[in-house]
């Protein structure tokens, strides 16, 4: 069946799929623990009977019984060598059963491996595993393919690429979404749809995991953005436990009662997954009969996706910032790292740009002395798991672009395709194969046209070629070419003209790389920001820029609001109302409060940056350092302790407060010691250590910080500390208290060892213990003097022990 | 870390924490391995798995009572998050290190949760399902000393997990667990 035939079919009616097969095989006597594919192969009459019953119940398409038919799954039963044989035969059996009454979809499902970048199984190996199965199914005569129950966008991409590379049959791509409407690797329905339909899936949908009620919501989310028909194959409700067995308890009537909701949501193919049977399909068929299908609402879409996010590019909406920083040009540190094969800077730029408002990340690995293709693949892998932003693949080498698009688990934007002969011919088919959008660079082998008119000619030339590959205006973004105004006075004007033409006449998205415009001028940021504002006024949709440039970003928000891109100025208000609040608060605080109260507030707010400044001012106001400690710092940290115990503060706030207090102490200590020499001599010493064998010390560090804030001298011996070292330090340093930490049942026994040995040598020493698995009764059992569950309690416990 | 609805927090404080969390996430590279094994024998205090792994204890027997097989899983959030946290500890940045520590724990737990769900999705179609809970070495009376054999069997080394002398998984943000497989009606 060709894709067009398939679409013709779908234009006229809702197609009904089959229901569960695995459970039917079990009902027919398949024993526990056997390979279902092999058992069906050995019992052809049983599987054919099941297929036939689904056809008789009204299925227009049945799935071949090859869910576990990849070499990897079959190998679990020692049947890897039978991959071809089993798949061919099972496809043939399904075809024979369907006869002329229905179509057979070759069923392809997860391999059970984690594919890179989310796992360690090589992507190309996954493609090959799927190719092997798909070829066998093709030889078995299937009419189309279905990739189903896929839980990882990268794995379904591997399967889709595999099938597309061996034949032109229609392919259904169906993923499984959890109740939170995300796949295993965190992909939402819309991002899955955008990625799969652009990569060439002819139908997109979802199956398994949830009941029909939840699945309707997934279809509703997808429909507005789908240029392909949609499929739903839900379970018969959620699995429930009954008498120790898991069952799906939704009846066939209940199940079928959701059919009208699915049709309203825009589903074109519907069937059943786990817990459904012939009866369910019969009822579904009754419900769909006579209903007319909803065709896809759109023909193309301007949208880019990552594994976890979609960014839409509707003309007339807020402009989109492409973060330009992941590019070694002019960045020494990044260059050094890339030469060593490191990606820390790349990751840092990704996080930083995302936080300062980038919508997309440009990735460029072009630099002498490194293997650009290899580095690009690695960068794409790292960024697609560490960042949510869709990527812009930036390279002058078509091979590098292809390698990046192949591995990227989303729909990327190519930067860029020009009319240069060798690039245009190579890159258009690559862009088409992977369904990428591309930046159209209006220059050719001969020239970079100076005028807008010259550039318009090239835009038309490239677009007419791109149309042959199925591209629409939604798929392209015209780079309006920014030249330097210091060398050509009219450069900016021509760019603006082209932006306006693209927006008003040609009607497509546009992009500019800003910084070129100001080259050679002083204070370039003003020119850049001004030019961005003017470009937005002329209809610009994207800018490649450094999002950490505040002036630029502020003008972007202002321009979007002014030109009407920013609906009700929501984006502007969201960005700036907070800034205003913060400033107001700071200023009013400064006016109303004296510096010593600000010291108190700084501890409460965990503000270690400003606390010393306030202390200095307080001292100038004749507040003694001792007063500051007793009346402000200690009071504040006690208040923090109360807030924490009342659950109004959570741990990071407690620690931030303790850290600002520590900063204050660090400053005040030398001032105190002059007056309080005697006090200082009596200072209580406490050892803290995580016991031998244990490496967990986060909790112990927090306890240490809290104790220091109450004026104790803390000797932190670190983690995995031997008993001897603890005792030796206790003796040498004349320590008053030992605090031990352990997180595990296996290492907590070491605490007893320390207690016993310490008592032998220094009978009066106090020992306190804590850690996730430690209890009060354990402390009593091993003869420790006390147990504290957190830093606050540790401070109280120490106080109590000392007063006794 | 004790965050709940009663917590009151200033906007800028929240921003600082969010930034550390975000940074933490980007330093996690969760990976997992699993192996499906049949239960070949079960008595009052031990469960035999093919490949000769024996799970000893009353608690694990109770947990796997109705099961015919198990998935053994090992997952990790990777080295980088732990190394980075330790770097911050050495710089005495206790707050950020504590937050990063929690991020690592969350990531590895969530990953285990998702893997658990994936295994269920894969197996439910063949007429089986998995236990709702996971059981890890160290729970109840299942000794931690099984960690080494457990990880060897899974070849957990290939996702970077090793076991210390005191049976601690390295990197620290790693989990091993047993998920039961039982028949579905």
Token pair recorded at residue B18: 């969010």
Distance from CA of B178 to the nearest CA of A (A): 17
- Check if the beta carbon of residue B151 is closer than 8 Å to that of residue B163: yes
Closest Cα in chain A to B130 = A246
Put simply, the chain A residues between 376 and 405 with a CB less than 8 A from any chain B CB are 385-387
Distance from CA of B79 to the nearest CA of A (A): 13
- Check if the beta carbon of residue A146 is closer than 8 Å to that of residue A174: yes
- Check if the beta carbon of residue A293 is closer than 8 Å to that of residue A25: no
Closest CB from B26, B97, B164 relative to A351: B26
Token pair recorded at residue A84: 């071809």
Cα–Cα dist A145/A554, whole Å: 50
Residues of chain A with pLDDT under 70: 241, 243-246, 578-592, 673-682
Cα–Cα dist B34/B154, whole Å: 6
Residues with Cβ < 8 Å from A240, sequence gap 6 or more? A246, A247, A248, A249
- Interhelix angle B94-124/A698-709, nearest 10 degrees: 150
**Unique residue bearing structure tokens 């706030």:** A653
Token pair recorded at residue B156: 């957990």
Put simply, the chain A residues between 202 and 221 with a CB less than 8 A from any chain B CB are 208-209
Domain B28-77+105-183 fold: NADH Oxidase (3.40.109)
Cβ contact, residue pair A184, B117, below 8 Å: yes
Closest Cα in chain A to B145 = A746
Closest CB from B32, B121, B132 relative to A176: B121
DSSP string, A380-439: HHHHHHH--SPEEEE-S-HHHHHHHHHH-SSB-EEEEEES-HHHHHHHHHHHHHHT-EEE
Reduce the DSSP state of residue A245 to 3 states and report it: strand
Reduce the DSSP state of residue A446 to 3 states and report it: coil
Best residue of A698, A722, A793 to probe chain B, by most B CBs closer than 10 Å: A698
pLDDT at A681: 45
Residue A706 contacts B, CB cutoff 8 Å? no
Reduce the DSSP state of residue A16 to 3 states and report it: strand
Buried b (16+ CB within 10 A) or exposed e, A613-644: ebbeebbeeebebeebbeebbbebbeebbebb
Put simply, the chain A residues between 158 and 197 with a CB less than 8 A from any chain B CB are 176, 178, 184-185
Closest CB from A112, A644, A659 relative to B122: A112
Cα–Cα dist A560/A539, whole Å: 10
In percent, the amount of chain B with pLDDT more than 70 equals 99
From A110, A301, A323, select the one nearest A222 (Cα to Cα): A301
Best residue of A209, A235, A246, A659 to probe chain B, by most B CBs closer than 10 Å: A246
Give the containing element (helix H, strand E) for A174: strand A171-175
Cβ contact, residue pair B121, A151, below 8 Å: yes
Closest CB from A32, A650, A744 relative to B2: A650
The residues pairing with A715 across neighbouring beta strands, listed in sequence order, are A687
Cβ contact, residue pair B121, A36, below 8 Å: no
* A–B interface: beta-carbon pairs under 8 A: 166
Distance from CA of A413 to the nearest CA of B (A): 22
Residues with Cβ < 8 Å from A460, sequence gap 6 or more? none
Residue A110 contacts B, CB cutoff 8 Å? yes
- Check if the beta carbon of residue B94 is closer than 8 Å to that of residue A702: yes
Cβ contact, residue pair A605, B4, below 8 Å: no
Residues with Cβ < 8 Å from A773, sequence gap 6 or more? A742, A743, A744, A745, A748
Q: Over range B29-40, report the average pLDDT.
A: 90
Cβ contact, residue pair A701, B94, below 8 Å: yes
Distance from CA of B52 to the nearest CA of A (A): 17
| C-alpha A768 chain-centroid distance | 43
Cβ contact, residue pair B122, A653, below 8 Å: no
**Unique residue bearing structure tokens 């803290």:** A688
**Unique residue bearing structure tokens 């190394």:** B83
Question: Would strands B128-130 and A713-716 be described as parallel, antiparallel, or unpaired?
Answer: unpaired
Closest CB from B17, B31, B66 relative to A244: B66
The CATH code belonging to domain A303-576 is: 3.20.20.20
Residue A112 contacts B, CB cutoff 8 Å? yes
Give the containing element (helix H, strand E) for B74: strand B69-76
Distance from CA of B46 to the nearest CA of A (A): 21
Contacts of A647 in chain B (CB under 8 A): 2, 4, 6-7
Judge if the upstream peptide bond of residue A521 is cis by omega within 30 degrees of 0: no
Best residue of A178, A604, A652 to probe chain B, by most B CBs closer than 10 Å: A652
**Fold agreement between A593-674 and A683-803:** no
Q: Where are the alpha helices (DSSP H) in A223-371?
A: 252-256, 259-265, 278-288, 332-339, 344-355
Residue A357 contacts B, CB cutoff 8 Å? no
Closest Cα in chain B to A243 = B185
* CA R_g for chain B: 19
Q: What ranges make up the beta strands (E) of A476-548?
A: 476-479, 509-513, 542-545
The residues pairing with A63 across neighbouring beta strands, listed in sequence order, are A105
Contacts of B3 in chain A (CB under 8 A): 650
Contacts of B89 in chain A (CB under 8 A): 697-698, 701
Best residue of B117, B125, B154, B159 to probe chain A, by most A CBs closer than 10 Å: B125
Give the containing element (helix H, strand E) for B75: strand B69-76
Residue A578 contacts B, CB cutoff 8 Å? yes
Contacts of B69 in chain A (CB under 8 A): 33
- Check if the beta carbon of residue A262 is closer than 8 Å to that of residue A222: no
**Unique residue bearing structure tokens 């299942």:** B142
Distance from CA of B55 to the nearest CA of A (A): 17
- Check if the beta carbon of residue B60 is closer than 8 Å to that of residue B142: yes
Q: Where are the alpha helices (DSSP H) in chain B?
A: 11-26, 58-63, 79-90, 94-124, 147-154
Cα–Cα dist A59/A233, whole Å: 12
Closest Cα in chain B to A32 = B183
pLDDT at A589: 52
Cα–Cα dist A564/A331, whole Å: 37
Cα–Cα dist A391/A489, whole Å: 34
Domain A593-674 fold: 1.10.1240
Token pair recorded at residue A373: 């293709």
DSSP string, B8-35: ---HHHHHHHHHHHHHHHHT---EEEEE
Token pair recorded at residue A678: 């005697």
Reduce the DSSP state of residue A770 to 3 states and report it: strand
pLDDT in tens, B10-26: 887 888 888 899 889 88
Reduce the DSSP state of residue A571 to 3 states and report it: helix
Closest Cα in chain A to B88 = A698
Cβ contact, residue pair A33, B125, below 8 Å: no
Best residue of B127, B147, B172 to probe chain A, by most A CBs closer than 10 Å: B127
Phi, psi angle pair for A720, to nearest 5°: 55, 50
Delimit the domains of chain B by residue range.
Answer: 28-77+105-183
Number of Cβ atoms within 10 Å of the Cβ of A108: 32
Number of Cβ atoms within 10 Å of the Cβ of B14: 13
Contacts of A20 in chain B (CB under 8 A): 125
Token pair recorded at residue A577: 């109302």
pTM of the model: 0.83
User: What top-level class would CATH report for the domain A3-288?
Assistant: alpha beta
- Specify the CATH architecture of the domain A683-803: 3-Layer(aba) Sandwich (3.40)
Cβ contact, residue pair B168, A209, below 8 Å: no
Cα–Cα dist B138/A757, whole Å: 27
Q: What ranges make up the beta strands (E) of A597-703?
A: 685-690
Number of Cβ atoms within 10 Å of the Cβ of A528: 24
CA dihedral A182, A188, A193, A195 (to 10 degrees): -110
Phi, psi angle pair for A623, to nearest 5°: -90, 125
pLDDT at A593: 78
Delimit the domains of chain A by residue range.
Answer: 3-288, 303-576, 593-674, 683-803
Cα–Cα dist A325/A352, whole Å: 10
Give the containing element (helix H, strand E) for A673: helix A651-675
The residues pairing with A740 across neighbouring beta strands, listed in sequence order, are A689, A769
Residue B134, CA distances (Å) to A117, B76, B157, B175 in order: 26, 16, 21, 11
Contacts of A273 in chain B (CB under 8 A): 125
Closest CB from B11, B118, B138 relative to A582: B11
Cβ contact, residue pair A149, B125, below 8 Å: yes
Number of Cβ atoms within 10 Å of the Cβ of A97: 22
Distance from CA of A649 to the nearest CA of B (A): 5
pLDDT at A673: 58
Q: What ranges make up the beta strands (E) of A85-157?
A: 103-108, 144-150
pLDDT at A581: 53
Residues with Cβ < 8 Å from A471, sequence gap 6 or more? A428, A431, A432, A463
From A503, A451, A496, select the one nearest A477 (Cα to Cα): A503
Cα–Cα dist A510/A478, whole Å: 5
- Interhelix angle A398-407/A421-434, nearest 10 degrees: 10
Residue A701 contacts B, CB cutoff 8 Å? yes
Cβ contact, residue pair A744, B126, below 8 Å: no
Put simply, the chain A residues between 412 and 471 with a CB less than 8 A from any chain B CB are none
Residue A653 contacts B, CB cutoff 8 Å? yes
* DSSP code at position A504: I
Reduce the DSSP state of residue A471 to 3 states and report it: coil
Cα–Cα dist A319/A317, whole Å: 6
């Amino acid at each position: 069946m060709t894709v067009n035939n398939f679409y013709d079919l779908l234009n006229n009616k809702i197609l009904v799929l089959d229901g569960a097969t695995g459970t039917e095989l079990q009902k027919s006597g398949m024993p526990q623990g056997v390979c279902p594919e092999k058992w069906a192969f050995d019992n052809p009459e049983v599987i054919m009977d099941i297929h036939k019953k689904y056809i008789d119940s009204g299925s227009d398409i049945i799935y071949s019984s090859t869910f576990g038919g990849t070499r990897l799954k079959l190998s679990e039963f020692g049947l890897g060598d039978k991959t071809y044989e089993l798949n061919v035969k099972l496809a043939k059996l399904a075809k024979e059963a369907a006869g002329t009454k229905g179509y057979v979809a070759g069923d392809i499902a997860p391999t059970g491996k984690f594919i890179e970048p989310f796992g360690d199984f090589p992507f190309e190996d996954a493609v090959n595993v799927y190719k092997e199965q798909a070829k066998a199914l093709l030889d078995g005569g299937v009419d189309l393919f279905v990739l189903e129950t896929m839980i990882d966008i990268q794995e379904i991409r591997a399967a889709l690429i595999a099938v597309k590379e061996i034949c032109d049959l229609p392919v259904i791509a169906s993923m499984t979404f959890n109740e939170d409407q995300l796949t295993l690797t965190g992909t939402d329905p819309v991002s899955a749809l955008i990625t799969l339909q652009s990569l060439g899936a002819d139908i997109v949908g979802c199956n398994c995991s949830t009941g029909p009620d939840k699945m309707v919501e997934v279809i509703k989310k997808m429909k507005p953005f789908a240029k392909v028909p949609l499929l739903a194959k839900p379970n018969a409700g959620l699995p429930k436990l009954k008498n120790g067995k898991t069952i799906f308890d939704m009846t066939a009537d209940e199940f079928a009662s959701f059919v009208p909701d699915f049709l309203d949501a825009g589903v074109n193919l519907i069937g059943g997954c786990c817990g459904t049977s012939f009866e369910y399909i019969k009822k579904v068929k009754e419900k769909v009969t006579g209903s007319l299908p909803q065709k896809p609402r759109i023909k193309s879409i301007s949208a880019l996706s990552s594994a976890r996010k979609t960014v839409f590019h509707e003309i007339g909406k807020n402009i989109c910032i492409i973060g330009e920083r992941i590019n070694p040009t002019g960045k020494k540190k990044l260059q050094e790292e890339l030469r060593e094969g490191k990606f820390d800077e790349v990751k840092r730029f990704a996080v930083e740009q995302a936080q300062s408002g980038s919508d997309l990340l440009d990735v460029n690995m072009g630099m002498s002395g490194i293997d650009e293709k290899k580095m690009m693949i690695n960068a794409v892998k790292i960024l697609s798991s560490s960042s949510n932003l869709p990527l812009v693949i930036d390279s002058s080498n078509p091979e590098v672009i292809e390698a990046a698009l192949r591995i990227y688990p989303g729909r990327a934007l190519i930067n860029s395709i020009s009319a240069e002969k060798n690039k245009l011919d190579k890159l258009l088919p690559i862009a088409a194969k992977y369904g990428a959008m591309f930046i159209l660079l209006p220059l050719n082998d001969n020239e970079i046209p100076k005028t807008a008119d010259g550039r318009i000619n090239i835009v038309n030339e490239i677009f007419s070629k791109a149309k042959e590959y199925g591209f629409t205006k939604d798929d392209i973004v015209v780079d309006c070419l920014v030249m330097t105004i210091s060398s050509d006075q009219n450069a900016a004007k021509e760019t603006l003209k082209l932006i306006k033409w693209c927006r008003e006449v040609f009607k497509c998205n546009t992009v500019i790389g800003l910084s070129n415009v100001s080259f050679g001028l002083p204070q370039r940021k003003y020119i850049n920001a001004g030019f961005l504002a003017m470009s937005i006024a002329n209809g610009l949709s994207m800018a490649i820029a450094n999002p950490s440039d505040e002036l630029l970003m502020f003008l972007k928000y202002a321009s979007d609001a002014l030109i009407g891109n920013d609906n009700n100025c929501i984006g502007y208000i969201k960005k700036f109302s907070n800034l205003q609040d913060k400033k107001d608060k700071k200023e009013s605080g400064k006016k109303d409060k004296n510096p010593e109260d600000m010291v108190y507030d700084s501890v409460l707010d965990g503000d270690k940056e400003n606390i010393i400044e306030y202390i200095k001012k307080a001292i100038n106001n004749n507040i003694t350092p001792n007063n500051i400690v007793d009346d402000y710092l200690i009071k504040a940290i006690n208040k923090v302790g109360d807030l924490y115990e009342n659950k109004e503060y959570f741990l990071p706030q407690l620690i931030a407060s303790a850290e600002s207090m520590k900063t204050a102490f660090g400053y005040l200590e030398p001032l105190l010691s002059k007056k309080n020499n005697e006090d200082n001599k009596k200072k209580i010493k406490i050892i803290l250590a995580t016991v031998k064998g244990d490496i967990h010390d986060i909790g112990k560090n927090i306890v240490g910080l809290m104790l220091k804030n109450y004026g104790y001298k803390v000797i932190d011996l670190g983690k995995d500390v031997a008993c001897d070292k603890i005792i030796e330090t206790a003796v040498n340093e004349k320590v008053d208290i030992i605090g031990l930490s352990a997180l595990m049942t296996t290492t907590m026994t070491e605490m007893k060892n320390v207690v016993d040995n310490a008592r032998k040598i220094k009978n009066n020493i106090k020992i306190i213990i804590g850690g996730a698995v430690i209890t009060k009764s354990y402390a009593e059992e091993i003869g420790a003097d006390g147990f504290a569950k957190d830093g606050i309690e540790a401070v109280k416990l120490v106080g109590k022990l000392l007063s006794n | 870390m004790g965050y709940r609805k009663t917590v009151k927090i200033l906007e800028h404080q929240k921003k600082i924490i969010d930034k550390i969390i975000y940074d933490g996430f980007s330093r996690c590279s969760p990976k997992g391995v699993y192996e499906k094994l049949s239960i070949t024998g079960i008595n009052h205090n031990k469960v035999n798995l093919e490949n000769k792994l024996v799970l000893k204890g009353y608690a694990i027997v109770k947990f796997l009572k109705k099961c015919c097989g198990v998935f053994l899983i090992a997952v990790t959030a990777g080295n980088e998050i732990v190394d980075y946290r330790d770097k911050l500890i050495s710089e005495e940045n206790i707050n950020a290190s504590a937050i990063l520590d929690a991020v690592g724990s969350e990531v590895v737990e969530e990953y285990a949760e998702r893997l658990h769900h994936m295994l269920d999705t894969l197996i439910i179609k063949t007429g089986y399902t998995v236990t709702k809970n996971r059981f890890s070495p160290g729970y109840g009376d299942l000794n931690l000393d099984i960690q080494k054999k457990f990880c060897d069997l899974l070849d957990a080394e290939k996702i970077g997990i090793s076991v210390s002398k005191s049976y601690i998984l390295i990197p620290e943000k790693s989990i091993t667990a047993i998920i039961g497989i039982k028949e579905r009606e």
